[in-house]
Structures are given as C-alpha cells and as structure tokens.
C-alpha cells in the first residue's frame, strides 16, 4: 500500500467508528499497542516543539526508506503518533515528500484537530517530512 | 427558600449548547464563568445607545459613557465595601492589576535588602510579576511553602515576615486545590510586622462576601470574567494612601493633568493608574454582573457553591483511581486530581468528547504542582448554575474513562 492509500484507509477506518468518544477510545487502543521509546531516546533533542503534550520523534533514512519512531506522555497523542507512523514508517522517502498530508482535514476528531493541537500535530508531520526531503 | 438555582440556568444560553452531541456540563468556572443574558444586554445597550470615549468629551455620548463608567466604579466600590471610589482602579484583569502594583513597587519601594514574599500556591499572575519586580530592583524574592494537605505552612510564613519583608503576595483561594487561606489572620500578622498585603481574590469573589475594610488588605485584585462578567475588565483595589504614594507606571492619555516637553503632572488615583482608554463597556458589564449576583444573593451563591464542591469531593473520593490534591480544612470553588493510568490531558479530551468542560495542565501554578511532584492535573470547578446531577455524571464519566485506560 502506498502512503497515500494508507492515509485513505485510516480516514475510512476512523469514519466507521461512532462518536467522538469512540474515536478517542480507538486512539487509546492504538496507543496501547504502539511501542514506547526507551528512556534513553526520550531526550531533549528528540522532543518536537509546539506540542502541549511531550512528544518525541526520531526519523531516520535507510536506503531511501523512512524509519519513524515516536512516543508521547499522553495516550491520545500517542494514538495519533501511531497513525502517523503507520503512514510514514517504511515508506519510500520520495512518497512521503510528495504526499499531500490532509489526514486531519478529512477527519472530525474534535479537540485533537483544533487550532493549538493541530499546530502541534502538524509540526510532528513537518519533522517527518523534513527527514524525507533531506538529501 | 425553594431552590431556584436550576431555573437560573435559563439565564445562561450557552449552557444549552450541545458538545459533540452531548449536553454541555461546564465545570471550568475557575478559568472563566459563563455570562448571563442580563450582562450581555447591559453591554449591548451601552454600545448601541451610549458609546463614546470617556472623560473630557463634551458631546452627549461621551458624557453618557463617562457617567456609565463612574457608575460602574461606584457599583464595584459598594461590592467591595471600599471607602471611596478613588480606591477602585479598572484594569484589564487580575494579571494587569498585579503587574501595575509590582511595577510601582519596583520603581518606588523596593531595593537591595528588601524582601517580597509570595506563597507557593500563587497563580503565576501573583508570582511572576513580584519575582520580576525583585529582579529589577535588587530585592529578594522568597516563597512561603505549602504543606502536603494543601494549606500554607503558617509558622514558616510568619517567620518570613520578619526582617526586611516589604510585601506579602497572597491568594485568598488557590486556583488548584481550592484551599481557602486564613487571610484575615495573615493580613493582621503581616500588618503587625509592618508588611502590606496584596490579596489575589480572583478565585474568591463568588465564594465570599468581600469587605476590603474588614479584611484590611492593602491591595486586592480580581477579574470580571470569573464572576459572570466579560473578559478584559478587572479591578485593582488599593488603599487610598498607597495609591497616592505609589508612582504611576503606565503613561499616556487619560491620566495626566498637565504635559509639557519638560515634564508631566499626573491625575490623582484612580485615573493615575488608568492610562489609555479604559474598557468602559467591560466596566458596564462587570457592574451588571455584580447586580446580577446581588440579585440572587451573594450568601446564597456562596452556600450553593460550597455544597457543590463538597458533593464533588465526596463523589470523586469514592473512585479509588482518583487522587485529589490536598485536604484543606476549607475548600472553595475548585479541586484538582490525578488518575491512575490516565494522563490529565487524555482525561480532559475524553471528558470533552462526552460534553464535560474541565481544565487540565499546570493551571498556571507550576510551583504548587511541583510541590506535589506533578506537572499536570485535572481541575473541576463548579459554579452555582451547575447541579449535583452533573457532578454525578462526571463521576460516572471518569469511571468509564478509567475502564478504557485499563483496556488500553
């Protein structure tokens, strides 16, 4: 599946859920399954600024493919990170660089997508995309 | 008397606003309260019939606006029990009120060897301005510690009042734990040592009948939007002797008697501290809010809110995964808690998705949260228009969230 197809699939999956509470519950479920970063990687250097919660993101390039690890101290945001990882981890850098990232414009997840939080989440995506554009 | 508090909800149209398909349960009143129709109406009338810049204008609208502003000042004076209207300065809110006096102290009262004391439970707005005033003037800034039960350590605070203390910055009610401080006793103690007291009443205004003469505080500050008024208007009360003695710190129109290229002579208080066009529409709104509260009865509001916060504490204590901060002898208006297995931000988001408005985060009181070894909490703060049923619903929602946390 391409990154764009993965994004479409996520939108479809979340739309199929019920109300806002159900959608948050789903993010909590994803957070529970998402691997935590070891303490040693939860460094100041890996913190993404502009988020209300603590968010750590590590992006590497391996033979033209992105490797994304991400974690947060709050579960709902960790759930969101799990979605971003699903799209970007293992994807060819060129695909991520070219992806029109509009996941949050297409979802209606209440507060997660309101102004300040949206800015924070966008800065996480920007971090991932910047790594894809490098080189 | 029959309980008509549920009927009062009709005065607040926003309480009927559905949130994510659920009825709104608004429990963030320590941050801002909702506005009754009467306040919005008063501000609308002012805007549509008497809007003109205040003071010095000779046209009718300016005169109407000026008298509305001065009537509002008189309403505030009565509400606070102040001796004269000259002691009532309009500001944009509590933060501006504190900054005004902290700046004046830095400019005219503080220097090396002096000490300003703020308690560890102050909101940042009654903490940072004093800290900065000390940094600028070379005075020492010290904090008075809080005990594990959320109360002030009174013996340690008393000891700090000795030797060089020039001001005590004290909150009446903590915006985190809801702790009610023994302000009368502390003001008396401070005065015995010759230390003036700046009382932050932002969280106290709806919970107590305020009488500044009886309190004997030197300064008192609060914001309009925490007592059903609009945002952008607040009050600085200062004893007239202090307001006359302290220097003006913001300058411009509306506060000068005479200006020449060489020097300026400033108005008397309160205008001396009100440079620029004051928020007279906001002042009208604040006065209308005070009239509204007086109409219900301040003692009845206080009793209602006391009963709601007690019910809230009882309900939350019954949930084993919920841990409430502190157990002060008297709590007013707000309580904060943490939950096993659920981050405060997650709890607040999940509650919002069910229609509950609560606050999460450091609540602009990082020193106090750090005292409890925390960096974020969830805060619940009911007002008189809330109901015990809403608090029951909150407890059930928290239980639902806890179950969810376990599943994740």
Q: Do the strands B197-200 and B165-171 form a parallel or antiparallel pair, or are they unpaired?
A: parallel
pLDDT digits (tens, 9 = 90+) for B106-142: 999 999 999 999 999 999 999 999 999 999 999 999 9
Please indicate whether, in this complex, the C-beta atoms of B405 and A112 are within 8 angstroms of each other. no
pLDDT number for residue B1: 47
A13-27, A104-118, B146-160, B223-237: least confident range: A104-118
Contact between residue B86 and residue B270 where contact means Cβ atoms under 8 Å apart: yes
Collapsed DSSP state (helix, strand, coil) of residue B120: coil
Distance from CA of B247 to the nearest CA of A (A): 39
pLDDT digits (tens, 9 = 90+) for B17-65: 999 899 999 999 999 999 999 999 999 999 999 999 998 889 999 999 9
Is there a cis peptide before residue B270, judged by omega within 30 degrees of 0? yes
A93 touches chain B (CB under 8 A): no
Residue B373: phi and psi, rounded to 5, are 70, 30
| Number of Cβ within a 10 Å radius of residue B373 | 6
Task: Tell me how far CA of residue A110 lies from CA of A105, A121, B14, B111, in angstroms.
Answer: 11, 14, 19, 51
Burial of residue A44 (CB within 10 Å: 0-12, 13-18, 19+) is exposed
Kindly state the average pLDDT of the residues B279-302: 97
Question: Residue A28, CB half-sphere, CA atoms under 13 Å: how many?
Answer: 22
Nearest by CB to residue A110, choosing from B342, B352, B407, is: B352
Distance from CA of B108 to the nearest CA of A (A): 39
Collapsed DSSP state (helix, strand, coil) of residue B246: coil
pLDDT number for residue A104: 82
Task: Tell me how far CA of residue B140 lies from CA of A123, B102, B126, in angstroms.
Answer: 40, 14, 16
pLDDT number for residue B300: 95
Nearest by CB to residue A21, choosing from B342, B343, B350, is: B350
Kindly state the average pLDDT of the residues B254-279: 93
Nearest by CB to residue A74, choosing from B345, B352, B404, is: B345
Contact between residue B329 and residue B89 where contact means Cβ atoms under 8 Å apart: no
Q: Find, among B27, B43, B26, B25, the residue nearest to B292 by Cα.
A: B43
- CA–CA gap between residue B239 and residue B220 (Å, rounded): 9
pLDDT number for residue B92: 98
Residue B2 pLDDT class (50, 70, 90 cuts): low
Give the ranges where chain A is alpha helix by DSSP (H): 3-15, 20-33, 75-88, 93-98, 103-106, 115-133
Who's near B307: CB < 8 A, 6+ residues apart?
none
Confidence check: pLDDT of B164 > 80: yes
Nearest by CB to residue B408, choosing from A29, A53, A73, is: A29
- CA–CA gap between residue B244 and residue B390 (Å, rounded): 48
- CA–CA gap between residue A37 and residue A58 (Å, rounded): 9
Please indicate whether, in this complex, the C-beta atoms of A76 and B350 are within 8 angstroms of each other. yes
Nearest by CB to residue B346, choosing from A19, A23, A75, is: A75
Confidence check: pLDDT of B270 > 70: yes
Residue B304 pLDDT class (50, 70, 90 cuts): very high
pLDDT digits (tens, 9 = 90+) for A65-123: 999 999 998 888 899 999 999 999 999 999 999 999 888 888 766 545 565 667 778 88
Please indicate whether, in this complex, the C-beta atoms of A111 and B343 are within 8 angstroms of each other. no
pLDDT digits (tens, 9 = 90+) for B97-113: 999 999 999 999 999 99
Confidence check: pLDDT of A6 > 90: yes
Mutate to test the interface with A, among B21, B348, B350 (most CBs of A within 10 A): B350
Who's near A77: CB < 8 A, 6+ residues apart?
A51, A53, A55, A112, A121, B345
Q: Which residue of B has its CA nearest to A26?
A: B408
* Residues of B known to be catalytic: 364
Please indicate whether, in this complex, the C-beta atoms of A20 and B342 are within 8 angstroms of each other. no
- CA–CA gap between residue A94 and residue B188 (Å, rounded): 71
Element (H, E) at B170: strand B165-171
pLDDT number for residue B3: 74
- Rg of the Cα atoms in chain A: 14
A28-37, A76-85, B2-11, B352-361: least confident range: B2-11
pLDDT number for residue B407: 62
Distance from CA of B374 to the nearest CA of A (A): 13
Please indicate whether, in this complex, the C-beta atoms of A110 and B407 are within 8 angstroms of each other. no
- CA–CA gap between residue B269 and residue B91 (Å, rounded): 13
A87 touches chain B (CB under 8 A): no
Residue B116: phi and psi, rounded to 5, are -115, 135
Q: Which residue of A has its CA nearest to B348?
A: A111
Confidence check: pLDDT of A52 > 70: no
> What's the maximum distance between 2 C-alpha atoms anywhere in chain A?
42
Please indicate whether, in this complex, the C-beta atoms of B361 and A31 are within 8 angstroms of each other. no
pLDDT number for residue A84: 95
How many interchain CB pairs under 8 A, A with B?
53
Please indicate whether, in this complex, the C-beta atoms of A20 and B404 are within 8 angstroms of each other. no
Q: Which residues of A touch B353 (CB under 8 A)?
A: 19-21, 23-24, 110-111
Read out DSSP for B50-98? S----SS--SHHHHHHHHHHHHHHHHHHHHHT-S-GGGEEEESSHHHHH
pLDDT digits (tens, 9 = 90+) for B311-347: 999 999 999 999 999 999 999 999 999 999 899 989 9
For residue B146, the Cα-to-chain-centroid distance in whole angstroms is 20
Q: Which residues of A touch B352 (CB under 8 A)?
A: 20, 110-111
Residue that is written with structure tokens 């509470």 in the block: A21
Please indicate whether, in this complex, the C-beta atoms of A21 and B353 are within 8 angstroms of each other. yes
């Amino acid at each position: 599946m391409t990154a764009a197809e993965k994004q479409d699939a996520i939108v479809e999956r979340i739309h199929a859920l019920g109300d806002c509470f159900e959608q948050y519950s789903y993010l909590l479920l994803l957070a529970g399954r998402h691997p935590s970063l070891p303490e040693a990687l939860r460094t100041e250097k890996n913190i993404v600024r502009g988020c209300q919660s603590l968010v750590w993101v590590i992006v590497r390039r391996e033979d033209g493919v992105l490797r994304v690890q991400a974690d947060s101290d709050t579960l709902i945001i960790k759930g969101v990170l799990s979605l971003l990882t699903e799209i970007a981890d293992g994807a060819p850098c060129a695909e991520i660089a070219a992806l029109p990232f509009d996941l949050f414009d297409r979802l209606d997840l209440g507060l997660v997508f309101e102004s300040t939080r949206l800015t924070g989440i966008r800065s996480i995506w920007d971090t991932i995309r910047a790594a894809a554009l490098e080189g | 008397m029959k309980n008509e508090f549920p009927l009062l909800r009709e005065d607040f149209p926003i309480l009927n606003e559905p949130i994510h398909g659920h009825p709104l349960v608004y429990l963030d009143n320590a941050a801002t309260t909702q506005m009754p129709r009467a306040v919005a109406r008063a501000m609308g009338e002012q805007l549509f019939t008497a809007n003109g810049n205040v003071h010095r204008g000779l046209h009718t609208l300016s005169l109407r606006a000026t008298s509305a502003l001065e009537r509002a000042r008189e309403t505030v004076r009565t509400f606070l029990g102040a001796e004269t209207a000259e002691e009532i300065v309009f500001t944009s809110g509590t933060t501006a009120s504190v900054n005004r006096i902290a700046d004046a102290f830095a400019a005219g009262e503080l220097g090396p060897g002096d000490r300003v004391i703020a308690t560890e439970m102050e909101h940042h707005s009654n903490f940072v301005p004093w800290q900065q005033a000390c940094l600028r003037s070379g005075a020492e800034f010290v904090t008075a510690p809080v005990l594990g039960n959320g109360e002030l350590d009174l013996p340690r605070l008393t000891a700090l009042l000795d030797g060089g203390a020039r001001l005590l910055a004290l909150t009446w009610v903590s915006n985190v734990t809801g702790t009610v401080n023994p302000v009368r006793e502390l003001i008396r103690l401070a005065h015995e040592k010759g230390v003036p007291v700046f009382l932050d009443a932002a969280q106290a205004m709806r919970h107590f009948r305020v009488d500044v003469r009886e309190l004997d505080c030197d300064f008192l500050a609060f914001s309009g939007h925490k007592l059903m008024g609009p945002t952008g208007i607040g009050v600085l009360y200062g004893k007239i002797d202090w307001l006359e003695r302290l220097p003006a710190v913001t300058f411009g129109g509306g506060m000068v008697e005479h200006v020449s290229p060489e020097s300026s002579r400033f108005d008397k208080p309160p205008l001396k501290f009100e440079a620029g066009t004051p928020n007279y529409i906001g002042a009208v709104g604040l006065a209308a809010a005070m009239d509204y509260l007086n109409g219900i009865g301040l003692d009845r509001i206080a009793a209602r809110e006391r009963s709601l916060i007690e019910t809230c504490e009882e309900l939350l204590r019954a949930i084993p995964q919920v841990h409430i901060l502190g157990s002060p002898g008297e709590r007013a208006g707000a309580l904060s808690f943490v939950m096993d297995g659920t981050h405060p931000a997650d709890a607040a988001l999940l509650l919002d998705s069910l229609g509950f408005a609560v606050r999460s985060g450091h609540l602009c009181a990082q020193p106090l949260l750090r005292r409890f070894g925390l960096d974020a909490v969830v805060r619940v703060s009911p007002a008189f228009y809330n109901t015990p049923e809403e608090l029951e619903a909150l407890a059930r929602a928290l239980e639902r969230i806890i179950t969810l946390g376990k599943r994740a």
